Structure 1
């Protein structure tokens, strides 16, 4: 467990992310400011999928973290921080080896990630045992905060917030009467589906489980069409959701399609086909990138040539918290952990103050519903809270 004293020390007079970024910019003229020389050459790692069927979610995160590091290094040219990339392909089986490689590099003080809940469950105990600071911008399974990993932090709401908010949107906004719930048995997919089921209650009339990397959904399509469901909730990732929805629509299926953040990527729309995905509702405990604070959206597009994607802004915030800690002279894992535990500040997505279990304050959590319109994912509204 974290110690209250450490939080108190780390939390005194911490400057918000946006203010901190401005301070870094001013340092560009006068060197690296007060940064401890021992912190120069420190590293932070990105941990997530850069290849594989769900790679785009990881790429969004990597690019958000990279933007933060690039901006930091421009402002602190004589005392830079390196971003190390660890490609998990979204596969929990690779998580142990990647986590071990991170902890063996003493220069790596913190991690932006792991990106997915399954890989986080495996990697977090390894990272935490060796004091590597974890700030995930995307792994939303609530159980991750209960594993006892003392360096764990989550930069957004979890599925205990997303699931009920999503279900209330289905009931109150979509007026769903009969829901068919599907999950992929992953840590993330099943966890989110269970939260949705609990809130929907008797509205859920049928359910089914699919396999990760499944491509043929003929039997499931038949089952759903026979159920009379007016809506489908998908607990899983876009890799399976896209071919499923295409096959379902091709077979004449008319039920509304709803999914969580693991499906919220343009790759889902492109894979399912714009016409098939039209009207789909996708929720996320993440801010619409265009609503992020400061100049984030414009900076991201200038750096990558693309609009910011799901979790790009959250990754930017997570990286900046770590960078502000390094800037303050926290040149060891232990010192950086104390800093992050007590951090209080405003990011481009929300305000940050971590609780004892590493979650952000509940008042800072917002669940957004997005809709596929004209082949694009656009923000619809915040999901109901109660």
Structure 2
């Protein structure tokens, strides 16, 4: 279950990996005076997240973008390639520990894009920290992740201290007399819902809890419809949000349904169905990937015959940061960690300047939160929500 906060490192000795952290194949290309004397080859960038299961819609676009970034890099470095190593967590924290151990035991893996969700990050990060394996998550937003002393942790988007108040601000703009709040008890969903409740204050008339894999929401639906709330915030993922929303609509609830980025995926649209999902709102600490800079949108469309989805532009940028380090000859985990510590450049796709605090948080000046509305079977950008 995603809400189980296990921290399983396993019984594997990691000391050698902490000291080394690389299996670079360095190709000698001339004398010591050549800037290309030692090219770094045969390294791997890990991609960690739910690549299958009900919540894969939140992660797959990012994996596609990461694959595309590596493909482009390899086209320019045909004699010295890099590969993506996928770690499919299915979004489940109980799988994350074993996957993290697999990643750190592969000395060719010198960086991780992800983990994508907060619960799996809580489980995997201690293992990554012990092995000195740097990670940049494109979408894990729980604020406490940066408070654990993990030097390897970096976040490519704003956390829920920005998304929560922004979602509350959006809800306040709907002028509801009362707001009902529900969360799924996951590390992400509960944390985000707490921030929304704090920001909404007395507007919150009641709250309730869902559970992982829940499909019957009749008890919560009854409470919502009896509460008189004209707006509802849901903290959690599509797997539970979709049947919940369908059952709310079937019970006659006509109020606003607002969720965080955990529902901002294609599955929320298709599984819920156009009639029931129409008008639902998702907030996200991400700008529309379909409006990304440079040639990213055209390249993605050509590669996958589809528009880029949630966090695709962010994952592309983060992958390219690791590739930039490798291209500059950084061949160890420690070298790449040092590279990230001093990094300060705009991403090619998002335009965000990636610069991190000493806790791994994105520079606050670069944080943006957007609202998206389900309209005619697609997520349509509504507006960027002003910072409080």
Helix, strand or coil at the partner of 2:59:
helix
Name the Cα RMSD after superposition.
1.1
Which moved further from structure 2: 258-267 or 302-311? 302-311
- Structure number with the bigger relative contact order (C-alpha 8 A, sep ≥ 6) is 1
- Separation in structure 2 between the aligned mates of residue 190 and residue 208 of structure 1, nearest angstrom: 11
Which moved further from structure 2: 289-298 or 235-244? 289-298
Deviations 1:60-98 (A, max 9, x none): 121111111111111111111110001000000000000
- Separation in structure 1 between the aligned mates of residue 176 and residue 71 of structure 2, nearest angstrom: 46
**Match in the other structure for 2:13:** none
Q: Is the 8 A contact 1:234 1:260 kept in 2?
A: yes
- Is 2:369 the counterpart of 1:367? yes
User: Which structure 2 residue ranges, 5 or more long, are not aligned?
Assistant: 1-33
Helix, strand or coil at the partner of 1:366:
coil
Q: Which has the higher helix share?
A: 1
Helix, strand or coil at the partner of 1:317:
helix
**Match in the other structure for 2:226:** 226
Deviations 1:12-66 (A, max 9, x none): xxxxxxxxxxxxxxxxxxxxx9566452111100000111110111211211111
**Match in the other structure for 1:305:** 305
TM-score (norm 1): 0.90
Structure 1 moving runs of 4+ over 3 Å: 33-38
**Match in the other structure for 1:210:** 210
Q: Is the 8 A contact 2:62 2:311 kept in 1?
A: yes
Deviations 1:192-222 (A, max 9, x none): 0000000000000010000011001111111
Helix, strand or coil at the partner of 1:369:
strand
**Match in the other structure for 1:165:** 166
- Separation in structure 1 between the aligned mates of residue 272 and residue 312 of structure 2, nearest angstrom: 23
**Match in the other structure for 1:322:** 322
Q: Is the 8 A contact 2:176 2:229 kept in 1?
A: no
Helix, strand or coil at the partner of 2:211:
coil
**Match in the other structure for 1:356:** 358
Helix, strand or coil at the partner of 1:39:
strand
Instruction: Write the mapping of 1:133-152 to structure 2, written as runs, cut at 5 A.
Output: 133-152=134-153
- Is 2:71 the counterpart of 1:57? no
Which moved further from structure 2: 301-310 or 180-189? 301-310
- Separation in structure 1 between the aligned mates of residue 191 and residue 37 of structure 2, nearest angstrom: 43
**Match in the other structure for 1:271:** 271
- Separation in structure 2 between the aligned mates of residue 266 and residue 176 of structure 1, nearest angstrom: 28
Aligned length: 353
TM-score (norm 2): 0.89
Report the Cα offset of residue 246 of structure 1: 0.7
Report the Cα offset of residue 177 of structure 1: 2.2
- Separation in structure 2 between the aligned mates of residue 36 and residue 317 of structure 1, nearest angstrom: 27
Report the Cα offset of residue 176 of structure 1: 2.3
Quickly say closer, same or farther: Cα 1:107–1:40, change in 2 above 3 A. Answer: same
- Separation in structure 2 between the aligned mates of residue 352 and residue 176 of structure 1, nearest angstrom: 37
**Match in the other structure for 1:109:** 110
- Separation in structure 2 between the aligned mates of residue 368 and residue 207 of structure 1, nearest angstrom: 24
Q: Is the 8 A contact 2:290 2:309 kept in 1?
A: no
Q: Is the 8 A contact 2:231 2:258 kept in 1?
A: yes
- Separation in structure 1 between the aligned mates of residue 37 and residue 120 of structure 2, nearest angstrom: 33
